Amino acid sequence: MRTLGTPKAWLALPLGIVLATAFADDKTISREDLAGKLSGVDVKDITDSPVKGLYQITLGSTVAYITTDGRYLFKGDIYDADTSANLTEETRAQVRVAMLAGVDPKNMIVFKPKDGKVKHTVTIFTDVDCGYCRQFHREID
């Protein structure tokens, strides 16, 4: 998975400061210019965010935000204060659904009930190096 530059490129700022800065400066740079400025980021990875003054950068399931002037970049969740919805998690969920849809069923191990009636589907990803995954496989029928 690609990352957003080096760890030094990430600025951990309180959301209020970032938003105040974003609204204070009307200078907006293009997505093309931003992509050129950020290592490993393509123009297609940069979209408008749900918040005015911010672009959203999505690389796989990693979501970050950058002010439209290109100055401040931060990683964190954005919540809608009116609905309490986690807008960042909604983006991650959409990415996960798209990634799952791209997995070829031939690469899956599928367990079906003996009667053939499937009421629910559970998709599990495992890692052979993960102790929890190994424990799961030892305990499941």
* pLDDT (tens digit per residue) in 36-71: 989 889 999 999 999 999 999 999 889 999 999 999
More confident residue, 14 or 87: 87
Helix, strand, coil fractions of the chain, as percent rounded to 5? 35, 15, 50
For the chain, what are the domain ranges?
7-101
State residue 1's pLDDT score: 47
* pLDDT (tens digit per residue) in 76-133: 999 999 999 999 999 999 988 888 888 888 888 777 778 878 888 777 777 778 898 8
Q: Is residue 12 over pLDDT 80?
A: no
User: Rounded CA gap, 5 and 8, in Å?
Assistant: 8
- 50 near 78, Cβ under 8 Å? yes
CATH number corresponding to 7-101: 3.10.450.70
pTM for the structure as a whole: 0.62
Residue 103's φ and ψ, nearest 5 degrees, are: -80, 125
